[in-house]
């Protein structure tokens, strides 16, 4: 099979021919049709996330069909469409797994980071962590649901019932989360890189009531702010925009350092929290929501061999929505 490989010595992936993987017990062999390109993949190749398997095939927003089943697989049949997310394995017996917080497992496996992912024609995945996908999305549209959508949804859930939400960084996750939040009847304000009028227009098109630069104040105070931009300086900015008791939820796996700020900005029970990974329960809840109506998914497609271009375009902010590698 053809695959794009990260060997740890350069941020550029190498196109290679590898033997097809064989499904072990409990695993699915998957013919990959599409794989989303997530900001986390950038953090892997840029060395911000320091413990990848080396070499590793990146990619954790995988959509394909089941080509073969390892022994003992239940819930999937040959030919089924399947989605593979970031969470690829948990231990099942640590204090976090036992308390329904498998996203914090002490011995996890992550697709496209510590387990080979979907920048390849084929992959194998533990069936217990895979999802069936709502029918109304094409393979390319479904790919961003698996991380941008799913971890975006967990980020939104940590905002509780906040009626008025600000979203900082209007990329792949934000464009899905904004639509879910609007569907839930919340008010959405979008913050982009200053001067990025294309992203601001995109946010307004998807139902944001206002869109502006991250250096601007929202038209009204926020009950919650969701941060998808990997910019630590936005944490105090967002904190100043939320009301008493408000929350700033950091949705990314990596962020530049947060500058110091006066305690008064945190005072009055404002909170800053981070989001780590996902649980299978999150996945089931989000796929149920995504299946109830049609979320508009904006994608920029690249052939597998152009994965480096896709990563570079994501780094430079060259497109709105989500980048997706296509394999057929």
Contacts with Zn ion, residue ranges (CB under 5 A): 38, 40, 90-91, 94, 97, 105, 147
When the beta carbons of 109 and 212 are compared against Zn ion, the nearer one is 109
Nearest to 159 by CA among 227, 206, 207: 227
**Least distance (Å) from Zn ion to the CB of residue 267?**
34
**Least distance (Å) from Zn ion to the CB of residue 139?**
17
When the beta carbons of 84 and 187 are compared against Zn ion, the nearer one is 84
When the beta carbons of 81 and 89 are compared against Zn ion, the nearer one is 89
Nearest to 92 by CA among 74, 105, 109, 75: 105
CA distance 199 to 188: 14
When the beta carbons of 39 and 81 are compared against Zn ion, the nearer one is 39
Residues near 197 by beta carbon (within 8 Å), at least 6 away in sequence: none
User: Do 244 and 268 meet the contact criterion of CB atoms below 8 Å apart?
Assistant: yes
CA distance 325 to 119: 7
When the beta carbons of 105 and 227 are compared against Zn ion, the nearer one is 105
**Least distance (Å) from Zn ion to the CB of residue 232?**
19
Q: Give the CA distances from residue 283 to residues 153, 190, 253, in Å, rounded to whole numbers and listed in that order.
A: 9, 25, 18
**Least distance (Å) from Zn ion to the CB of residue 106?**
5
Q: Which residues of 262-274 are buried (b: 16+ CB within 10 A; e: fewer)?
A: eeeeeeeebebee
When the beta carbons of 60 and 122 are compared against Zn ion, the nearer one is 60
**Least distance (Å) from Zn ion to the CB of residue 85?**
8
Helices 172-183, 148-157: axis angle to 10 degrees equals 50
User: Do 52 and 44 meet the contact criterion of CB atoms below 8 Å apart?
Assistant: yes
**Least distance (Å) from Zn ion to the CB of residue 80?**
23
Q: Give the CA distances from residue 267 to residues 101, 163, 272, in Å, rounded to whole numbers and listed in that order.
A: 28, 21, 11
When the beta carbons of 90 and 237 are compared against Zn ion, the nearer one is 90
**Least distance (Å) from Zn ion to the CB of residue 253?**
8
């Amino acid at each position: 099979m053809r695959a794009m490989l990260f060997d740890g010595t350069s941020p550029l992936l190498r196109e290679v021919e590898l033997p097809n993987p064989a499904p072990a017990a409990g695993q699915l062999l998957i013919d990959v049709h599409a794989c989303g390109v997530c900001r986390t993949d950038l953090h892997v190749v840029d060395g911000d996330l320091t413990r990848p398997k080396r070499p590793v095939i990146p990619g954790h927003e995988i959509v394909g069909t089941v080509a073969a089943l390892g022994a003992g697989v239940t819930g999937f049949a040959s030919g089924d469409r399947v989605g593979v997310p970031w969470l690829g394995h948990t231990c099942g017996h640590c204090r976090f797994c036992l308390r329904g917080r498998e996203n914090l497992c002490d011995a996890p496996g992550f697709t496209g980071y510590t387990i080979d992912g979907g920048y390849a024609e084929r992959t194998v995945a533990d069936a217990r962590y895979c999802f069936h996908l709502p029918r109304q999305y094409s393979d390319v549209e479904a790919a961003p649901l698996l991380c941008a959508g799913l971890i975006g949804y967990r980020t939104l859930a940590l905002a509780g019932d906040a009626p008025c939400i600000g979203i900082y960084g209007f990329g792949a996750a934000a464009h899905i989360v904004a639509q879910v939040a609007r569907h839930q009847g919340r008010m959405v304000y979008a913050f982009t890189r200053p001067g990025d009028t294309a992203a601001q227009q995109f946010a307004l098109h998807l139902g944001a009531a206002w869109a502006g630069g991250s250096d601007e104040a929202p038209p009204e105070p926020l009950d919650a702010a969701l941060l998808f931009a990997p910019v630590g300086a936005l944490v105090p900015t967002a904190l100043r925009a939320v009301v008493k008791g408000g929350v700033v939820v950091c949705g990314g796996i990596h962020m530049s350092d947060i500058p110091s700020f006066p305690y008064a900005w945190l005072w009055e029970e404002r909170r800053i929290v981070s989001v780590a990974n996902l649980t299978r329960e999150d996945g089931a809840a989000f796929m149920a929501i995504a299946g109830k109506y049609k979320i508009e998914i904006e994608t920029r497609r690249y052939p597998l061999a152009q994965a480096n271009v896709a990563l570079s375009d994501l780094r430079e902010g060259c497109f709105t929505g989500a980048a997706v590698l296509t394999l057929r």
